[in-house]
Amino acid sequence: MNMEFIKRLANNLFGKRKTYDAKELGIFYSKVWNCWKNESYYWFTSMKFSVYREETFLCINGDSDAPFQPQIACLRELFDNWEEIRSQISRIIPKHVRYIKNKEVFIYWKERFYPESVDVFGAETNGVKITFSTYDLNHSFSFVWRDGHVRDFVLENEEKENIPYLDAYTYYLFDYLYYIGEIWEKSNSRMCGSILLFWYYTFIFVIPVYFLLLHI
């Protein structure tokens, strides 16, 4: 685990950006340092649904050359079933918001929420984690789409135990920060992108020490 973490850190510090054109899914990006390659890398892109105002952040795994093709196929299948996913969410949400204060926000989720991120973790495509957020990012819910069903549905304040994907967020923190920083740097919010990239390069030297101590 320690060596994998160090390799990922080295790739983020010294790696060169690589791209992969997945056609309708967009162009995926990753960083690869040829002197010290990992077995797997995170590949990122963002895409725009016609029914939402904001873009959706896509994250999948791959090797040093391209994303894993089963995960590309998994994403395509996911978007082919998007209306079925929305239908299942509409049936699930009323059961979860019955006793919460802000239930009106979730009852009208189709108008107020958008898919903020879609994440496929691991070399095996055993599910896709999808996070929906309000446009002001004040409320959210997430779930796993697997075998044609919405599973492990979690509201923002509910207990998140038994969700296996959460550990990966910390592990791939640097990948997320760097990619988001590059997106913002190219957008109209150039100052925001520059600030995020500054924090990325600041914390990349502090956080590794903390996590390496945890892994020892």
pLDDT confidence of residue 162: 42
Q: Are 54 and 131 in contact (CB under 8 A)?
A: no
Which has more pLDDT, 166 or 129? Answer: 129
pLDDT confidence of residue 31: 86
Tell me the DSSP string of 134-191: ETTSS-EEEEEEETTEEEEEEETTS--TT-TTHHHHHHTHHHHHHHHHHHHHHSS-HH
Q: Cβ contacts of residue 82 below 8 Å, gap of 6+?
A: none
* Phi-psi label, residue 174: left if phi above 0, alpha if psi -120 to 50, beta otherwise: alpha
pLDDT confidence of residue 122: 59
Upper half-sphere CA count for residue 178 (Cβ side, 13 Å):
23
Q: Is 201 helix (H, G, I), strand (E, B) or coil?
A: helix
Write the burial class of residue 73 (CB in 10 Å: 0-12 exposed, 13-18 middle, 19+ buried).
exposed
Q: Are 17 and 28 in contact (CB under 8 A)?
A: no
pLDDT confidence of residue 10: 74
Which has more pLDDT, 142 or 175? Answer: 142
Write the pLDDT tens digit of every residue in 154-188. 987 554 444 444 444 444 555 665 665 555 555 55
Tell me the pLDDT band of 150, cut-offs 50, 70 and 90: very high
Q: Are 128 and 119 in contact (CB under 8 A)?
A: yes
pLDDT confidence of residue 164: 45
pLDDT at 38 over 50: yes
Number of structural domains (the chain) is: 1
pLDDT confidence of residue 99: 74
Write the pLDDT tens digit of every residue in 81-119. 999 999 999 999 988 887 777 788 888 899 999 999 999
Rounding to the nearest 10 degrees, give the CA dihedral for residues 171, 56, 37, 211.
-10
Host domain of residue 121: 2-215
pLDDT confidence of residue 127: 85
pTM over 0.85: no
Q: What average pLDDT does the segment 194-210 reach?
A: 62
Which has more pLDDT, 200 or 55? Answer: 55
pLDDT at 37 over 80: no
Which has more pLDDT, 26 or 121? Answer: 26
Residue with tokens 């903390």: 210
pLDDT confidence of residue 142: 93
